[in-house]
Structure 1
C-alpha cells in the first residue's frame, strides 16, 4: 500500500515536470484558452443586455464608478473620467445645435493626437454618429477620396479641397475659436458656451450591432485608401484587447501611435475604456522622450509597432535604461533580433506580439512569448476562426490550385498565404462605397466548392511547435514607417505629373530599417525630361511622407506580364544599387527639395547606416 502511495505521489510530482519538458507551452495554452472562454462569456452577456450595450456604455460605467480617476493625461493637462464625459457632452450639445447637423450623420474626424480627438469621438457616439478617422497626413486627391468614401458631413490640407467639399454639401468645423477661411467654421467657441448636460439616449436609439461605429482607412492591394467598416459589434469585441493581455485599472498606458490608426484607436483608446486605465497621450512618437516620459508618468504598459522598438534600440545607451516601471509592451511587427536587443537593453518586459488587420476576420497573439513569432495556433482558435495557409505563386501573384480548381494547403513549416473562412462569428464586412475592393479580398472555392474565405494578403509559416511567423506581404502593398502603402495609389499620383508616363511602384528592403521603402521604375513622356525638383514638389503635394518614393529608376519601358500586370519581383531583387543597375537612379533629397542622382557614395552611406531614411 505504501509503495502504491509513493508511486502515485511521485507520478503527481513528475507530471508537471514532464509536461514542461515535452510540451513546454501547455500551461500557457491552458491559460490562453481559459482567457478566450472568459472573453466569450462576457461578450455574450453584453450582447444579451437590453437596451443594447456598446463601447460608449462601458465608458459611462467607468465614469460612474471612477469619476475622479485620471483618464487622459496630455502634456501639462489631466482629464478625469468625469472631465472627459462633461467635455464630450459639451461637444455633442454644440454639434446638436448646429443647423447643418442631425444626430446620426456620418462625421469625418481630421485631427491629430490630442484629447479633443477622444472627446469628439465620444460626443459623436453619444449622438449616434459613425465616425471616419482620417489620416491627418493625407492631402488633396487622397483626402477628398476619403471624404467621399464615408459620405461625411465635417487647416491647410482641407482648404485645398474646400470647393469640392462645398459642392457635396460638406460642412467643415475647425476646433478653434476664430477662423477667417471662407467655408470653414470655428467650433471651439461654440463648444465653450455649450451645456455639459448628458445627451438623451433616444438620439442613438437607432443604433444596432450592425451599425457602423467607425471607418478606419487602410491601404490594401490596389488603389486609394479604403474605408474599412468597423461596426458596433466588432468594436464591442475590441474592448477585450487589453484586458485579455492582463491589463487592469491600475495600469498606466503610454499611447504615442496615431489615433486614426487601428492600433492607437482600438488598442490604446478603446482598450483603456474597458480596463479603466490611465492613458498618457503623446502627439507623436519620440524616441528621445520615450523612456523619460515612462519614468515621469510611472507608465506600466506601452504600445509599439516594429519601427518603434528599433528606434528605441538605436538611441544612445544610458545608465538608467532599465530604470522604469514598464512591464508589458503590446504591438506588432518587431523582428526577432530587435526583440532580443530590446529585452537585453531595457529589462524584463513582457512583449505581446500580435497579428491582426483593421478589416480582417482572424488574428493571433503570441501569448507564450516565443521571440520572433506573431502568435500561436491551437485547436479552439481554429474551431472559432477557421483559417489555413495555402500555396501561393509570388511570381504570378496568384494562388496555386489543383486539377479540381481548389487551393492547396501548405505543409507545416512551409510558407503559405493566410486565408480565414468568412462565418457569422468571423465576418468580413468590407469597405465602404467600394464593392470592387471588397470582392478582391474574398477568395472562393478554397478547400471545397462554394466556400468563402478572407484573403489577408500575408504570407505566413507555422512551425512544428505551432507558432506562426509572418513572412511577407503579397500583391501591391508594402509597409513603411508603420503605414501600409498602396503601390497603385502612388503610381496614379506619379503619372499625373507632366513628365512621367508610366510608373511601377514597389517596396525595397534597406539594411537596418523595418519594412520596405518606396521605389518607382518610371518611363518618361514623349518629348519630356525628368525634372527632379518638379517631381519632388508633385509627390510632396499629393502624398504623405511615408508614401513618397525614396528612389526613382528611369526605364525605357515598364515590363508587364501576359495579362498586362506590372512585373515587380525582378525589380525588387535588383534593389537600388547603382553598381548593378544601368538605368539612371535618383533619390529623394528633402534638403535640396529635389530628386538627385543616386551615386555610389550615397548608396554606400545608406547601406552602412550613415544615412538614415
Structure 2
C-alpha cells in the first residue's frame, strides 16, 4: 500500500502542473469564480431580508470597530469613521427638521468632491432616503432635466455653483423646490443656508426605525449616464447594486489597511459606487481630491502614503504625459483599479512608474454584466470562462456599424460574433442579472433592451459596446456604437449636443459626432452644420452659446460647414465617414473652424492649428 502511494505521489504532484500547462489560466479562473460566489452569497444574505443590511449598516459596523481610524483624507483635513458618523447624524437631523425630508424622499446633491458629499449621503441614507448625484458641470436645460428626473424637492449645492442655481431659479420656484447652499448664512434670494443647521443639530445616532422599510430593491441613488441618445439618463441604483459594486474591491483584494486615492468626481459611478462604498466595505481609508491634477498626483500619493489608486483611462495617460522625474517610481502604490486604459498607455505606465498591479474592468453604471482583468494581461478587460457563464448569460453578436443595428439571420435572430471579431455585448436580463432601467422615461429604458435575440421572447440588455474575444478567451474593449462618444472620461450624447446647437438662429441642420485626435484618448466633439440661406457662420456667437449650455467636455471643438447632409436610406445622418475624415484641412475642402479658448470664438481651421494639435502644442 505504501509502495502504491509513493508510486502515485509524483503523478499527483505533477497533475496540477499538467492541468495548468493545458489550461494555463484555469486556477486563476477558479479562484476568481470562488471569490465571486462567496461574495455573492454574503451579499444576498444582506439584502434578502427587510430591513436589508445596507452600506450604512456596514459603515456603522466600521464606526464601532475602529472609530478613530481615518476614513476620509482631504487636503489637510482628517475625518475619522466616528467623525463622519456624527456629521452624517447632524446632516440627517438638519434635513429632517428644516427640509422636511422623510423616508423615501430624494435629495439632489450638486457639488464638487468634498467630505461633505459623503457625510450628506450617509445622512440621507440614514433617513431611508436617496440622493441624486448631479454632475456639477451641467447647466440650464441639462440641469433641469436631470433634477426633475429624480423627483427631488430639495437641492444641496455648494456656494461656488450659485450662478448656475440662480439661472434656473424661476423653474425651481414653480415646482416649490427648496435650495440649500453649504454655507452658514444665506447667500442668494429664495435659498437657505445648511451648514449652520448642521452645526446646531444633535450628533446622536439616527433611529434605525426611519429606514426599517429599506430592502435590497429600495432606491439608494441616481447616477447619471449619457447613453446613445438624448439628455443624460438617471440610472436607478438600489442598495443591492451598491453592495455588488463593493465586490470589485473584494476581487482585487483591497485590504483594510489600504489607503485609496480617488481623484475622480463623486457624481461618477467609479468614485461613488466603487471607491466610497468599497472603502466602507473594507474599512479602508479614502483620499479625496477636489479635482484631478496630473502634476500633483504622485505628490499626493507620497503625502498620504497611498497604496491603491482609482483611474479612468485618461488619468493614467495624463500621468504618462507629465515630464519625467527621478522619483517617478518612488511611491507605495501597489494597485490601480479602473477602466478605459489604452494598451500603449498601460505598458508605458508600468515602465515608468513601476510594477503596479492593474485591475482593468469593464462595466457600465446601469448594466447587468461586468468583467475584471484578474490575470493581469495587458490590454484585457477580463476573460470568458465556463465558470463566468454560470453567473451571467452573455454573448457577443455581429453588428452593422453603418446601419447602426445588429446583424440578423433569415429567421430574424442575432448572429454570434466569431473569436477575434468585434461583437456587440449583450447580457440576458434575469433575476441574477437584472436591469433596473432609468427614471422618468420608459422609452429610454426600452432602448437599452434587445428582444428576440436568439429565440422568440428572450430579453437582453444592450451594452452599446463592441468587444472582441481572442483565441485564449481574453476580452478586449473595441469601440462604442450609436450616437455617443467619450471625451475626458465623460460619455457625450450627440443628439443632446445637436439639440443645443440647433437653436442657434443661423444653423439649419446639425450632425454631431466624435473624431479621433492623434495621441489623445477617446474622441472629441465635432459638428457638421448646414446654415440657413443668406446666413453666415458667426464663430463668436456659437462659442458663447456652447459655453453657456454645454459642459466643457461636450463642446464641439471643430465645426464643418456643409451644403447638404449625407443620410442613409432610412433618413439617418451618416456619421462614420465624417468621423473617419476628421478635421484635417489638407483633406477636407469644406470650411472648418476650431474652438479657440483664447479668442473666445470659433476661428478658421488652418494647417498650422492642425499640426499644433497633433504635436500637443495646443491643449484640448
Could you tell me which residue of structure 1 aligns to residue 285 of structure 2?
278
Could you tell me which residue of structure 1 aligns to residue 545 of structure 2?
538
Is the deviation greater in 521-530 or in 75-84?
Answer: 521-530
- Could you report, residue by residue, the CA deviation over 1:17-49 in whole angstroms, capped at 9, with x for unpaired residues? 334433221221121112112112211322345
Q: Aligned with 1:288: secondary structure?
A: coil
Matches of 1:510 and 1:99, distance apart in 2: 48
Could you tell me which residue of structure 2 aligns to residue 493 of structure 1?
500
Could you tell me which residue of structure 1 aligns to residue 124 of structure 2?
124
- Could you report, residue by residue, the CA deviation over 1:443-496 in whole angstroms, capped at 9, with x for unpaired residues? 000010000000000001111111111110000011000000000000001011
Matches of 1:527 and 1:489, distance apart in 2: 27
- Within-5 A mapping of 1:79-478: 79-98=79-98, 100-153=100-153, 154=155, 155-478=162-485
Cα displacement (A) at 1:207: 2.2
Cα displacement (A) at 1:498: 2.0
Is the deviation greater in 236-245 or in 447-456?
Answer: 236-245
Matches of 1:527 and 1:430, distance apart in 2: 45
- Could you report, residue by residue, the CA deviation over 1:291-338 in whole angstroms, capped at 9, with x for unpaired residues? 111111110000010000101111111111111110000000111111
- Could you report, residue by residue, the CA deviation over 1:50-77 in whole angstroms, capped at 9, with x for unpaired residues? 6421111111111111111000010111
Matches of 1:6 and 1:243, distance apart in 2: 40
Alignment of 1:57 onto 2:57: yes
- Could you report, residue by residue, the CA deviation over 1:335-383 in whole angstroms, capped at 9, with x for unpaired residues? 1111111111111110000000001000000100110111111112212
Does the 8 Å contact 2:50/2:212 carry over to 1? no
- Could you report, residue by residue, the CA deviation over 1:496-553 in whole angstroms, capped at 9, with x for unpaired residues? 1122121100001011111100000011123321111110010010000000001000
Does the 8 Å contact 1:214/1:229 carry over to 2? yes
TM-score between the two structures when normalised by the length of structure 2: 0.97
Does the 8 Å contact 1:72/1:279 carry over to 2? yes
Cα displacement (A) at 1:5: 6.0
- Could you report, residue by residue, the CA deviation over 1:119-138 in whole angstroms, capped at 9, with x for unpaired residues? 10001001111111000011
Q: Aligned with 1:177: secondary structure?
A: coil
TM-score between the two structures when normalised by the length of structure 1: 0.98
Q: Unpaired segments of 5 or more residues in structure 1? A: none
Q: Compared with structure 1, are the counterparts of its residues 83 and 582 closer, same or farther at alpha carbon in structure 2 (3 Å cutoff)?
A: same
Q: Unpaired segments of 5 or more residues in structure 2? A: 156-161
Alignment of 1:549 onto 2:556: yes
Does the 8 Å contact 1:304/1:329 carry over to 2? yes
Matches of 1:72 and 1:483, distance apart in 2: 25
Alignment of 1:521 onto 2:536: no
Does the 8 Å contact 2:50/2:213 carry over to 1? no
Could you tell me which residue of structure 2 aligns to residue 588 of structure 1?
595
Alignment of 1:482 onto 2:489: yes
Q: Compared with structure 1, are the counterparts of its residues 343 and 147 closer, same or farther at alpha carbon in structure 2 (3 Å cutoff)?
A: same
Does the 8 Å contact 1:96/1:103 carry over to 2? no
Does the 8 Å contact 2:140/2:168 carry over to 1? yes
Q: What RMSD in Å do the two structures reach over aligned CA positions? A: 1.4
Cα displacement (A) at 1:422: 0.3
Q: Compared with structure 1, are the counterparts of its residues 21 and 612 closer, same or farther at alpha carbon in structure 2 (3 Å cutoff)?
A: farther
Matches of 1:231 and 1:539, distance apart in 2: 34
Cα displacement (A) at 1:605: 1.7
Cα displacement (A) at 1:212: 1.1
- Could you report, residue by residue, the CA deviation over 1:56-105 in whole angstroms, capped at 9, with x for unpaired residues? 11111111111110000101110110000000111111111115533432
Matches of 1:37 and 1:383, distance apart in 2: 10
Q: Compared with structure 1, are the counterparts of its residues 304 and 110 closer, same or farther at alpha carbon in structure 2 (3 Å cutoff)?
A: same
Is the deviation greater in 515-524 or in 525-534?
Answer: 525-534
- Could you report, residue by residue, the CA deviation over 1:539-596 in whole angstroms, capped at 9, with x for unpaired residues? 0100000000010001112222122211101101111110111100001111111111
Does the 8 Å contact 2:263/2:310 carry over to 1? yes
Q: Compared with structure 1, are the counterparts of its residues 99 and 393 closer, same or farther at alpha carbon in structure 2 (3 Å cutoff)?
A: closer
Q: Aligned with 1:280: secondary structure?
A: strand
Matches of 1:304 and 1:437, distance apart in 2: 29
Matches of 1:484 and 1:306, distance apart in 2: 13
Cα displacement (A) at 1:255: 1.1
Q: Aligned with 1:572: secondary structure?
A: helix
- Could you report, residue by residue, the CA deviation over 1:193-233 in whole angstroms, capped at 9, with x for unpaired residues? 11111111222223222221100000000000000001122
Does the 8 Å contact 1:523/1:556 carry over to 2? yes
Q: Aligned with 1:407: secondary structure?
A: coil
Could you tell me which residue of structure 1 aligns to residue 74 of structure 2?
74
Cα displacement (A) at 1:189: 1.0
Matches of 1:11 and 1:402, distance apart in 2: 50
Q: Aligned with 1:160: secondary structure?
A: helix
Q: Compared with structure 1, are the counterparts of its residues 99 and 468 closer, same or farther at alpha carbon in structure 2 (3 Å cutoff)?
A: closer
Matches of 1:298 and 1:606, distance apart in 2: 36
Does the 8 Å contact 1:108/1:134 carry over to 2? yes
Q: Aligned with 1:108: secondary structure?
A: strand
Is the deviation greater in 360-369 or in 38-47?
Answer: 38-47
Matches of 1:168 and 1:529, distance apart in 2: 40
- Could you report, residue by residue, the CA deviation over 1:365-402 in whole angstroms, capped at 9, with x for unpaired residues? 01001101111111122121100011110011011111
Matches of 1:2 and 1:122, distance apart in 2: 63
Cα displacement (A) at 1:7: 5.3
Does the 8 Å contact 2:62/2:283 carry over to 1? yes
Does the 8 Å contact 1:255/1:282 carry over to 2? yes
Q: Aligned with 1:520: secondary structure?
A: strand
Is the deviation greater in 312-321 or in 221-230?
Answer: 312-321
Does the 8 Å contact 1:100/1:171 carry over to 2? no
